[in-house]
Amino acid sequence: MILRSWLVSLSWTWFLLSICQAQRATDDKPNIVLIMVDDLGIGDLGCYGNDTIRTPNVDLLAAEGIKLSQHISAASLCTPSRAAFLTGRYPIRSGMVSDTNTRVIHSLAVPAGLPLNETTFAAVAKKQGYSTALIGKWHQGLNSQYRNDYVHHPYNYGFDYFYGMPFTLYTPCWPDPSRDAELAISRGLGSCVQLLAITALTLILGKIGRWFSVPWLVILLMILFIFLPCYFWFHSYTSRLYWNCVLMRQEEITEQPMKAERAASIMMKEAISFLERHREEPFLLFYSFLHVHEPCPTMEKFIGTSKHRLYGDNVQEMDYFVGKLLDAIDNLGLRNHTLVYFTSDHGGELESRVGHVQLGGWNGIYKGGKAMGGWEGGIRVPGIFRWPGKLPAGKVIEEPTSLMDIFSTVAALTGGTVPQDRVIDGQNLMPLLQGAVQHSEHEFLFHYCGVYLHAARWNPKDSPAVWKVHYVTPVFQPPGAQACYETKACTCSGEGVTYHDPPLLFDLSRDPSESTPLTGDTEPLYDVVIKTVADAVQEHRKSIIPVQLQLGKELNEDSIWLMTCCGVFPFCLCDKEGNTSNLGF
């Protein structure tokens, strides 16, 4: 009897310990929600000083968490910046850079993409038992050797689930034309062409096998009838709207072309559905907004709600959806067990204008913007972390941090490890966020424009100064302007830049807008700083192993064989979403 009681007590003790250990293991692995906005300027948010655009949900997120005031993107354009964010490595290490003026993946019909040997934070989290999803923009490639091979699909980089744009929003995507008639004709023509092709093939085999006699002329005319509709249909759709503005769910194209104004609502529905499906297990959700990239497709109820026309309306709509996502986290009881991070992939676009009306973002006091490799306005972005009970509320950290840090931070949070066979440039931010350390692990950060290093910053451990050295800066046009309005985007080399020898020097702690370069006469430490940063640049360059440039001319060229198609090429129009009027957003 005593033995039996002892065994029962031991069993209960083991059971309770198991529950406690399981709970502790779960508590040690928070859910992770990473929110990235496209082309958002740091000055577009109320919590970063804007008092003319309403962003109450992002502002509340900052008030409830930690705001980073010197959060730096590894590149000033989408594709390389996102590659660095995903991998924790400067994009030049993975080849996601260019030596030409085309510095992003420029269509879905190119073989370029994030190399498969790169490890993303999603892959690290997945290996630790996390369910992972990407909702929204990808822009890291899709096909490689043939149409629909999906070599560069998010699934191959650790994401269990994907819904969104494999490419990016751009001007042809909105406003989209009404195309109900086109969809019907496309389906009809596609079916007819398939039927004719089967018939022609049957006649050819019958002719060769002498099963029946059909004149070759009839067969040739039938082949001609197959070819002509395909040819004329394909060439009637020269707009990139039909080939790049597409939405996918997993490996299925659901809209071609997409209805951009409803995409945000469907994305939010997909994100909330993912949260609901995985609320009982650790998950990582990368919510990659299509907002606020031009052409800024915006729902009717937000049109005209801001003081900054369509762009401001679109920012306010983005904030609305941030609120919906945070509400879903709260309503599912996941608030205290979920780390939420908010950022932008790079600075706002200054050259996006109609006449003299600004359509792009505002970068606050910072000089420059999107596509400018060195100036702060192109690379300084919002950075907000919230994790109730684990991170202090209302704190501001002014130390230099990087989007690349998310990789190492996710690895630490999930219990994973960073790869040891390559250089990882990002740092684990948790000690800095939790106050265990007061100083950033980044002594130096390097700022590239394509393959060209334009600038570098030095954050000495024994000084409050943050030194910024510019070796190359873009030539603004017209003269006296603060952006490259004539060329629509600044270039990285050649006649479009100025090479500085000696380089320009700024102390960002005293001159964050980079308005007054320091000289040997005005700064006693000038020579020391210039030499120290030059030595760091030299050591950094030694660590760069040459790889194939994914965004160079060889791989970033269109191929008709790689063009996406949801039907029988070239009859590719489709809309599989159906009626979406009841989304509730």
Q: Which of 272, 76, 291, 59 is nearest to 165 (CA)?
A: 291
Query: Residue 546 has what DSSP assignment?
Result: P
Are 109 and 115 contacting, i.e. CB atoms less than 8 angstroms apart? Answer: no
Which runs of consecutive H residues, i.e. helices, occur in 210-307?
A: 216-236, 241-244, 260-277
139 as an active site residue: the answer is yes
The rounded radius of gyration (Å) of the Cα atoms in the chain is 27
Q: Which two tokens stand for residue 299?
A: 């729902």
Q: How far apart are CA 328 and CA 101, in angstroms?
A: 42
Q: How far apart are CA 432 and CA 70, in angstroms?
A: 13
Q: How far apart are CA 238 and CA 231, in angstroms?
A: 12
Residue 500, judged by CB atoms within 10 A of its CB (0-12, 13-18, 19+), counts as middle
List CB contacts of 147: < 8 A, sequence separation 6 or more: 561, 562, 563, 564, 565, 569
The catalytic residue among 106, 139, 152, 337 is 139
Longest dimension (CA), the chain: 98
Residue 411: CB atoms within 10 A of its CB come to 23
CA atoms lying within 13 Å on the CB side of residue 480: 0
The catalytic residue among 47, 71, 78, 245 is 78
In SS3 terms, 118-184 reads as CCCHHHHHHHCCCEEEEEEECCCCCCCCCCCCCCCCHHHHCCCEEEEECCCCCHHHCCCCCCHHHHH
Q: Which residue has the tokens 């309306």?
A: 313
Instruction: Report cis status (omega within 30 of 0) of the bond before 502.
Output: yes
List CB contacts of 438: < 8 A, sequence separation 6 or more: 399, 432
192 as an active site residue: the answer is no
Are 454 and 74 contacting, i.e. CB atoms less than 8 angstroms apart? Answer: no
List CB contacts of 459: < 8 A, sequence separation 6 or more: 399, 400, 440, 442, 443, 444, 445, 466, 467
Q: Which residue has the tokens 């009306």?
A: 357
Question: Which residues are the active-site residues?
Answer: 78, 139
